[in-house]
Structure 1
Amino acid sequence: MTCSEEAEAQFAEIELLLSMFPSEEELQVDELSHAELRAYVEGSAHTPPSIRPQFNIKLKVENPAVSITLLCTYPTDYPKVLPDIAVRVKVLTWKRIMIRHREDVPFDNTWTEERTDSLRKFTGFHEASFDTHGTRGKSMDLGQLLSVP
């Protein structure tokens, strides 16, 4: 599939979504990326779009205090490569969270690392520590998270 065919598939899918969700309250398409993609597919632009096509779909739920939005961005090679999809949820009501299950484990001198591992509910996690002050005074350098394997 050439880049032009991929762009055509992306454009056709966005046009299909626009026909399925005619209201901007349900679907918002990035106008600039859509215009660049249209120009490229129709042949008035000879270079691929500089902005990846993206759109938001707002889902309606029964509770008006809850808002759910799906954010989708197409990679250049879409549909061969899956799109980047994120979900944004906004809840304006708070609920009390209660712990309904509690496990008490006695701690004695025979405690081993294998025994600790046998009690874990989730695997694959490990502890990571960072300098909380970072190099910018009082704010932590969140880029340190990228160095964690």
Structure 2
Amino acid sequence: MSVFRERAEAQLAELDLLTSMFPTELQIVDQLALAELRNQVEVEAEGQTSSGEAEQLPSSRPHFVINLRLDDGTGAPEGVDFILSCTYPPDYPSVLPELTVGCGQLTRAQRPRLHSALRAHLARACPGEPCVLPAVEWLRDNLGDFVRASPSAAPPGDNDDDGEGAFARLWIYSHHIYNAAKRKNILEWAQELRLSGFSMPGKPGVVCVEGAREDCEDFWARVKSLTWKRITIRHREDISLRRGSDADSLRKFHAFQEALFDGSRGKRADLGSLYRFLREKDCHHVFHAYFGVEGQR
């Protein structure tokens, strides 16, 4: 059995277990990635590929979320809702998965501390083993301590340190964006994180997201975890917010949408249309950052 097949079967086995334990709470975000992983394992098991072909990795990675509630007397009468988001790297479970915990009762300063403590625990408790269920159990035992340590009386953002609540706008460049599952992920993740902006599929691929800096960083971490030929942040804008200031007034876009600028060469994007779109949003200054030339009206 190849190393790839062994790891893939461990991922599938854990997902089957989690689905049986959390039938309504677990949601597969990228169904195509899961289907590709199952198909790859089946093909190799049937001996239909050479060893070299069998090691070819799927084009995207399984990503799922588990919606849970903590009822442990933390002081919230309705309980504490949290979301565990997980993406499997190709080498999982030899390496830790990419885990993100979303909880409205945590301050932005507390979230990275929670993530660091969770990863440290998993590295000690289950090295080289499936660890999503242990992660859920650890969160049930320890999330309440982080919630209680988060000052609940202050408005959101008042407890953040030195710009933790800053507004950000990220301009992401990809060699291309064709894959339907990736396009769906980009739209869904931006909406989940309350980000505005746009995604331009085709070649090249352009994505802009704006909103709370932490949410933009979360979006970038998820997107770059997918399999890309090339993807990078070409330009970013970070704006410090004063207490009580309205972050929404800084937005250039009212929502997040997929913007199609089809050129005459099929899947290659029409950069002239992109430039005119950016001018309408007063963002045309980034065109040079993307392509090294000034745009034309």
Question: How far is the alpha carbon of 1:90 from its aligned partner?
Answer: 2.2
- 1:54 lines up with 2:63 in the alignment: yes
1:95 deviates by 3.7
SS of residue matched to 1:57? strand
Counterpart position of 1:109: none
Distance change >3 Å, CA 2–CA 22, structure 1 → 2: same
CA shift for structure 1 position 9: 0.8
Q: 3-state SS of the aligned residue for 1:75?
A: coil
Task: Give the number of aligned pairs.
Answer: 99
Question: Judging changes above 3 Å, is the alpha-carbon distance between structure 1 residues 59 and 41 closer, same or farther for their aligned structure 2 residues?
Answer: same
Q: Which residue of 2 aligns with 1:67?
A: 81
Q: Which runs of 5+ in 1 are unaligned?
A: 98-126, 128-138, 143-149
Q: SS of the residue aligned with 1:60?
A: strand
**Distance (whole Å) between structure 1 residues aligned to residue 80 and residue 101 of structure 2:** 13
Superposed CA deviations along residues 41-74 of structure 1, whole A, max 9, x for unmatched, are 1218954321111111111234447431000111
- Check conservation: 1:11, 1:41, Cα contact below 8 A: no
Residues 61 and 29 of structure 1, relative CA distance in 2, 3 Å threshold: same
| CA offsets 1:16-44 (integer angstroms, 9 cap, x no match) | 11111111xx1011312111111111218
Pair 2,56 (structure 1): closer, same or farther in 2 beyond 3 Å: same
- Identity percentage over the alignment? 44
In 1: Cα distance, 2:79 partner to 2:237 partner: 35
Q: Is it true that 1:79 corresponds to 2:107 in the alignment?
A: no
> Which residue of the partner structure matches residue 39 of structure 1?
39
1:19 corresponds to 2:31: no
Q: Whole-Å Cα distance in 2 between the matches of residues 18 and 28 of structure 1?
A: 9
Contact 2:57 2:90 in 1 (8 A): no
Q: In 2, Cα distance between the equivalents of 1:141 and 1:53?
A: 31
TM-score (norm 2): 0.29
Given that 1:29 and 1:56 are in contact with CA atoms closer than 8 Å, whether structure 2 keeps it comes out as yes
Contact 1:6 1:78 in 2 (8 A): yes
**Structure 2 partner of 1:96:** 153
Root mean square deviation, CA, Å: 3.0
TM-score using structure 1 length = 0.55
- Secondary structure of the structure 2 residue equivalent to 1:90: coil
Which of these two proteins has the greater Rg computed from alpha carbons?
Answer: 1
Equivalent position of 2:6 in the other structure: 5
